[in-house]
Structure 1
């Protein structure tokens, strides 16, 4: 990966984000399935169009102070495939008991909506467009109001790849390439959201140093 940022693109990133007061760094985990190791071929229990969010992680960054001012995490109970696959539990470390005790998506969406009332001038971002697409699918399936209505969205992975002229990569490798230590477990919504917030903070610090 190119270690030095494109300063013009970094400034563009900072200018766009700084029009807001807060940034919500969001990461989801969802039901999923995949063949493990030498497992015999079989039909996947959870198809790509059947994935449901099972964890929402959210870190709120104050764009004036560049501090993470709030963390939000909720498990979500899946409906289509309520039993997590071995692959899913291995990937995310989310336990069956965690989702069994959780609320369904529409109820968690109301909690997120209540949280947003505290941050009227905000945008949200995720690592890649998957999270935005998954939330849209969850909203459609649950027949509920959009979870982040009318809020500007930013694909942070795309911005990162433009700034560093690099191909698409995972969140953890991208974080560590900046010299940041990874905090927590990879592929956990709350931990990924926290690390994404740390990345955004560092990029904004770099941009403001050269502005």
Structure 2
């Protein structure tokens, strides 16, 4: 990829973000299941179209300062499959007690809207499009607005692909490829959100 092409891509990203003062970097963890190689064949407890958010991590970047200025983290109590699978607990490090005492998707949405009122003129970004699809799925289950209803969404993974020649398979690999230090635990919403923010700050800086 030529230097000129990268410059034009970066300019396009800045133009997309120009109307906004804040960018929310978001990562979700959700109910999930997978059959381990050591197990005999069985049906999945959680199928893909019934995945529910169990954690939202959100980090606020002030786009004028290009600095992280706040964060929001909540566990969410799942309704369809309230008992987490062993696979899910191992993958995310989220435990049953974390979600048993958590608020519902709609209640978390109310808290998030109160939080977001302090940071208007915002858009949000995630590593890929999964998080945007998952929030819509959750909203359908709960028959309420999506947690980030009305805010434009940007795919930070596509931004990265347009600026760098490597194609990291995971968020962790993307952090490493930029020479950044990984923060926290992989597959934890708030930690992954911080790492997405780190990548975006590096790209925009």
The match for 2:84 is 84
Query: What CA RMSD, in Å, does the superposition of the two structures yield over aligned residues?
Result: 1.5
Q: Which runs of 5+ in 1 are unaligned?
A: 206-211
Structure 1 residue 41: deviation in Å? Answer: 1.4
The match for 2:74 is 74
Alignment of 1:128-207 (within 5 A): 128-167=128-167, 169-205=169-205
Structure 2: distance between partners of 1:74 and 1:140: 19
Structure 1 residue 18: deviation in Å? Answer: 3.2
Q: Would you say the 8 A contact 1:135–1:147 is kept in 2?
A: yes
Q: Deviations over 1:140-178 (max 9, x none)?
A: 110112221221110111111122244462111111111
Structure 2: distance between partners of 1:17 and 1:204: 10
Q: Would you say the 8 A contact 2:168–2:174 is kept in 1?
A: no
Aligned length: 203
1:99 paired with 2:67, answer no
The match for 1:56 is 56
* SS of aligned partner of 1:6: helix
Structure 2: distance between partners of 1:52 and 1:101: 16
TM-score by length of 1: 0.92
The match for 1:116 is 116
Structure 2: distance between partners of 1:135 and 1:197: 19
The match for 1:209 is none
Structure 1 residue 112: deviation in Å? Answer: 1.0
1:11 paired with 2:11, answer yes
TM-score by length of 2: 0.94
Structure 2: distance between partners of 1:85 and 1:60: 31
